[in-house]
A and B are shown apart, each in its own frame.
Chain A
């Protein structure tokens, strides 16, 4: 990105075209300086990651009014520059007295309140922290600009809600270089404060937030073993010959890499191995090596064999039930790296750098790709849950037919109706679920809690447990009731991929329809909106006795006459009602 010329970006960005059916992600940039040159850079950065972004700008120096006007944008980015609070403030601020400064700070705080209020329902707001760096870096002394920025940042910290992400713009400036970030020539002529280099760095820096909001966060980190997870080759050097101890020069590097991986695991990222090795050797290391941090218990999936890595990585994706594009793979061999790059381009690959001391930081540079917008309790359990799933897969193979297997699971479905305490998890599911998701509507926590308290909406969450353990809250349905016509619309129906393949969706639907019957609802309408990933549910409503009434492109609209519904009556799934917490 850094190496691509601006004119090249302008040209390449024109080459992205979108079908009319694609829902563009509207990004609105509000600012009190001129930042229009970021448009093509933002668009190009995101479109390169398959996010159909379209960037628009607010009016110059109209942040407060625009925050009201554009609150429905998918993403709002705010550049609020202290140096341009009034014309020439970067230097006139030196001459201000304390009283004036305090009043000014109070006034800006009120404005911040207004902006936050206006944007409280916006899915994602990227709000740059206030910064004085561009006009204070050459001096050892502090100045009023810095004082104001510090106080306002403290205020932002107190007031920002979970959908407002504060961007540490000083880190961006540090990465791009202070003098390369600042565009003095255009700042003085056109109020365009930032350089192209700055915007390139900024776009890369904030990209993970926008990817996460569009369900594109990475979910699994898969390592090769020899010279990747540890130094040396276990098959040749033996368990005592491989290095991952802080006490040795190279060992320390692998120890650091394992620390980073483990930190990701604690945030709910799945760890796995894909290595050409003897499984006995690797297990010996994982179980008994005194310096190993990534012990067996943290590893969800292992493909340690002599098959090619393409096959193994495909199996990893299918067994974890995640897309190839959710995987990051680390390997030291140029051969393997190039092979995977060529054959499985969806997978993000990190090659162990030749300068080994750069290895930990090169991993850290990819840390944000795993970023989730809301970490909830579920994430901590995730490794455990997926691990149980791998056990289930193994057991699945030994049953004669799938129904026998399902019966043996002792499945139990718990239904939660309008439970506010689940808001964070329900919102997170709308953000992250791609495969079993009929409409792929993304909702913020605020939107979910509004549905829950609205009389015309009913929000059902389900959690699923079986003899292996509790999968947690893994399904969601939002119904929109029309009491006058005794009808209902399925706004959202989704299930986490962790529980797909157990006919739980049909038990859930049975339950929903019986709820609708009890409430005298006569008809239900629903639609399937296709995406690249939800092909597997294209016939879900048809399988539930809904009649297709129209279709545009691949989208289908359905109506169900409630009396025509035939319950699936899956007696191997027990249904319970959850206590409202």
Chain B
């Protein structure tokens, strides 16, 4: 079965922030993920772009600091 966008995003987050999938949910954000530093943030951007075959605009790169914001930007980029 195809994975949902949500599953795919959480999966990317788990890998980049080196945490387990169970610990992540819709409310995960820079505030409750300890490993989320500026380097990991770059990794997140690259991994999302690879996973969804999108290019995240420079202005949005700094904004995607929670699951909900990531989902928003991914959906926006995917429909373009």
Nearest B-chain residue to A195, judged by Cβ: B46
Whether A37 and B39, one on each chain, are in contact in the complex, defined by CB atoms closer than 8 angstroms, is yes
Q: List residues 60-77 of chain B with CB under 8 A from any CB of chain A.
A: 61-62
Encode contact with B along A171-199: 1 for CB under 8 Å, 0 otherwise: 00000000000000110011010001000
* Majority secondary structure of chain B interface residues (helix, strand, loop or mixed): helix
- Is the C-beta of A249 less than 8 angstroms from some C-beta in chain B? no
Whether A5 and B58, one on each chain, are in contact in the complex, defined by CB atoms closer than 8 angstroms, is no
* Majority secondary structure of chain A interface residues (helix, strand, loop or mixed): helix
Whether A6 and B42, one on each chain, are in contact in the complex, defined by CB atoms closer than 8 angstroms, is no
- Is the C-beta of B15 less than 8 angstroms from some C-beta in chain A? yes
Nearest B-chain residue to A186, judged by Cβ: B42
Whether A10 and B15, one on each chain, are in contact in the complex, defined by CB atoms closer than 8 angstroms, is yes
- Is the C-beta of A14 less than 8 angstroms from some C-beta in chain B? yes
- Is the C-beta of A11 less than 8 angstroms from some C-beta in chain B? yes
Q: List residues 32-66 of chain B with CB under 8 A from any CB of chain A.
A: 38-39, 42-43, 46-47, 50-51, 58, 61-62
Whether B16 and A7, one on each chain, are in contact in the complex, defined by CB atoms closer than 8 angstroms, is yes
Encode contact with B along A36-60: 1 for CB under 8 Å, 0 otherwise: 1100000000000000000000000
Whether B61 and A10, one on each chain, are in contact in the complex, defined by CB atoms closer than 8 angstroms, is no
Whether A6 and B50, one on each chain, are in contact in the complex, defined by CB atoms closer than 8 angstroms, is yes
Total A-B Cβ pairs within 8 A: 35
Nearest CB in chain B: distance from A225 CB, A = 44
Q: Cα distance A10–B17 when bound, in Å?
A: 10
Which of A14, A186, A189 meets B18, CB within 8 Å?
Answer: A14
Whether A6 and B39, one on each chain, are in contact in the complex, defined by CB atoms closer than 8 angstroms, is no
Nearest A-chain residue to B14, judged by Cβ: A11
Q: Cα distance A192–B40 when bound, in Å?
A: 13
Chain B residues with CB below 8 A from A14, complex form:
18
Q: Cα distance A36–B51 when bound, in Å?
A: 21
- Is the C-beta of B10 less than 8 angstroms from some C-beta in chain A? no
Q: List residues 36-91 of chain A with CB under 8 A from any CB of chain B.
A: 36-37
Whether B51 and A7, one on each chain, are in contact in the complex, defined by CB atoms closer than 8 angstroms, is yes
Which of B18, B39, B47, B62 meets A36, CB within 8 Å?
Answer: B39
Chain B residues with CB below 8 A from A196, complex form:
46
Whether B16 and A5, one on each chain, are in contact in the complex, defined by CB atoms closer than 8 angstroms, is no
Known: A185-B58, A185-B61, A189-B61. A11 touches B42 (CB 8 A): no
Chain B residues with CB below 8 A from A5, complex form:
47, 50-51
Whether A11 and B15, one on each chain, are in contact in the complex, defined by CB atoms closer than 8 angstroms, is yes
Nearest B-chain residue to A57, judged by Cβ: B39
Known: A6-B50, A10-B47, A196-B46. A189 touches B58 (CB 8 A): yes
Chain B residues with CB below 8 A from A10, complex form:
15-16, 43, 47
Q: Cα distance A192–B43 when bound, in Å?
A: 12
Chain B residues with CB below 8 A from A37, complex form:
39, 42-43, 46
Q: Cα distance A366–B12 when bound, in Å?
A: 34
Whether B15 and A192, one on each chain, are in contact in the complex, defined by CB atoms closer than 8 angstroms, is no
Nearest A-chain residue to B11, judged by Cβ: A7
Q: Cα distance A196–B43 when bound, in Å?
A: 10
Nearest A-chain residue to B51, judged by Cβ: A7
Number of chain A residues close to chain B: CB under 8 A: 14
Nearest B-chain residue to A39, judged by Cβ: B39
Nearest B-chain residue to A40, judged by Cβ: B43
Whether A6 and B18, one on each chain, are in contact in the complex, defined by CB atoms closer than 8 angstroms, is no
Encode contact with B along A365-376: 1 for CB under 8 Å, 0 otherwise: 000000000000
Q: Cα distance A37–B41 when bound, in Å?
A: 11
Whether A7 and B12, one on each chain, are in contact in the complex, defined by CB atoms closer than 8 angstroms, is yes
Chain B residues with CB below 8 A from A185, complex form:
58, 61
Q: Cα distance A5–B46 when bound, in Å?
A: 10
Nearest CB in chain A: distance from B5 CB, A = 15
Chain A residues with CB below 8 A from B46, complex form:
6-7, 37, 196
Nearest CB in chain B: distance from A554 CB, A = 32
Encode contact with A along B2-23: 1 for CB under 8 Å, 0 otherwise: 0000000000100110100000
Nearest CB in chain B: distance from A280 CB, A = 57
Nearest CB in chain B: distance from A180 CB, A = 13
Chain A residues with CB below 8 A from B47, complex form:
5-7, 10
Chain B residues with CB below 8 A from A190, complex form:
38, 42
Chain A residues with CB below 8 A from B42, complex form:
37, 186, 190, 192
Whether B15 and A7, one on each chain, are in contact in the complex, defined by CB atoms closer than 8 angstroms, is yes
Nearest CB in chain B: distance from A43 CB, A = 14
Nearest A-chain residue to B56, judged by Cβ: A185
Chain A residues with CB below 8 A from B18, complex form:
14
Q: List residues 208-225 of chain A with CB under 8 A from any CB of chain B.
A: none
Most buried by A among B38, B46, B50, B61: B46
Q: Cα distance A36–B42 when bound, in Å?
A: 10
Nearest B-chain residue to A196, judged by Cβ: B46
Nearest CB in chain A: distance from B47 CB, A = 4
Nearest B-chain residue to A34, judged by Cβ: B39
Chain A residues with CB below 8 A from B50, complex form:
5-7
Nearest CB in chain A: distance from B51 CB, A = 7
Q: Cα distance A192–B50 when bound, in Å?
A: 18
Nearest CB in chain B: distance from A178 CB, A = 19
Chain A residues with CB below 8 A from B12, complex form:
7
Q: Cα distance A186–B61 when bound, in Å?
A: 10
Q: Cα distance A11–B50 when bound, in Å?
A: 14
Q: Cα distance A185–B46 when bound, in Å?
A: 11
Nearest CB in chain B: distance from A442 CB, A = 31
Q: Cα distance A6–B46 when bound, in Å?
A: 8
**14 A-B pairs with C-beta separation under 8 A:** A6-B43, A6-B50, A7-B15, A7-B47, A10-B15, A10-B43, A36-B39, A37-B39, A37-B43, A37-B46, A185-B58, A189-B62, A192-B42, A196-B46
11 further contact pairs, Cβ within 8 A, besides A11-B15, A36-B39, A185-B58 = A6-B50, A7-B46, A10-B16, A37-B43, A37-B46, A186-B42, A189-B58, A189-B61, A190-B38, A190-B42, A196-B46
Where the two chains meet, the residues of A that have a C-beta atom closer than 8 Å to any C-beta of B are 5-7, 10-11, 14, 36-37, 185-186, 189-190, 192, 196
Instruction: Report, nearest first, the 6 A-B pairs whose CB atoms are least far apart.
Output: A7-B47, A5-B50, A11-B15, A10-B15, A7-B15, A36-B39
